Structure 1
Amino acid sequence: MTITQETVMKPEERSFYYQLFCHYYRGDLLQLTRKQWKQVVQIIKEYQYTSLLDEVAQSLQVLEGVTERNIQTFEYDYNRLFVGPNKLLASPFESSYRNYEGNVLQQETLNVRNFYRYVGLQVANEGQIPDDHIQFELEFILHVLSQPTIEDHRQIYKMFLEKHLLQWGFKHCESILQNNQNPITHAMAVILKEFLQLEGGNKDVN
């Protein structure tokens, strides 16, 4: 790691990364052009805390230099990893990683739903997509972080990270890194993994 322990991630930087990954798992980045990927990289580089990491810096170089071929095959790889229709090679659901059978819609899903309901949130069209999809978990954290002055929400952020996202996020990233066939999905997995590593080491809301 090329980063010093004294460096603290700023609230706006933490929120930016959660927003970035929310957009990614919603599929909002699937149609980006080469020029737009370069713009994304430039924005990421403005947040020095994470971009100082060697692996992240290498992944940013990859995203900055994506080819038309990379972009054309990105959606196919994204779907085979996260969407289907075949067996998901990097399931985006927490329960896939946290019960013996690897099934979705398990107790883990209900536990996540209870966190959402505690702060008055509910997944849109509840029941169609399990609540423990990584997109929803990221959106939940982003919502809680948007209200840092509420002491209860600061504690919920820490608890949710420890009890949920950090319990399976690394396994999810490793599944991507083992099964991806596209430099974009690979680079985004590296950036997410390194971000989660930092979150695991520093869960204070400034």
Structure 2
Amino acid sequence: MPRFGTRRWPTGDVAVHAVVILTIAVLVGGSWWFAGRHLTHFGAPDEPPVGEDGRFPGERLAIAEFGGAKDTAEDVRYLDDLAATTMLTPAELRQYDRGETGRVRLRIARFDHTTVTALLAELPQADEATARAHALAELQLSYGFEVPVDAPAGVTAHLAPDVGGQHVGRAHYAGDGILVRIDVRGAERARVHQRLMDTVDEQVKAVRPDA
């Protein structure tokens, strides 16, 4: 019967193998040092921003890159933070609260003649996000947003009459549990109208509206 035992490597072969292993380790380590040591691990604490938008491609609260001088408002992360900004009416805040809003993300972009505010909120249920989007759109009608604006399917957008020299346009929609609100304001109605349409067209590429 054949006997199975421990194979003995000649001393020279052991030395050669050791040198090869050491060389591979040095090459791999060197490659990491030059090419990979600045790569951010997903989920790592204190991770630096990635890309111009400052978010990973998989970020659910994705705001489109629509230009302007930006204020990312990174301190607004949850509903309490949002309430402190006073940008929403009490009735609007109740809709976000009813939807059990989790994370929120806010960006303000200033242009020469208009200001755009994009607000995204993450809700635990997709159908709840849809219901809140519809309720918020209905609220806008009671605020005087009576002029409809052409928008992609699933998005509700309106313009309000001139109030104190300001025109305001707003859009709401839901996409996969994300509640999206776009607010555009400025002194010229035509510019507000066009900016609202352009911004919505870009944002639906980042968060697709539910069918």
TM-score (norm 1): 0.28
Rg (Cα) greater in structure: 2
TM-score (norm 2): 0.27
Considering Cα pairs closer than 8 Å and 6+ residues apart, tell me whether 1 or 2 has the greater RCO.
1
Which protein has the bigger helix share?
1
Which protein has the bigger strand share?
2
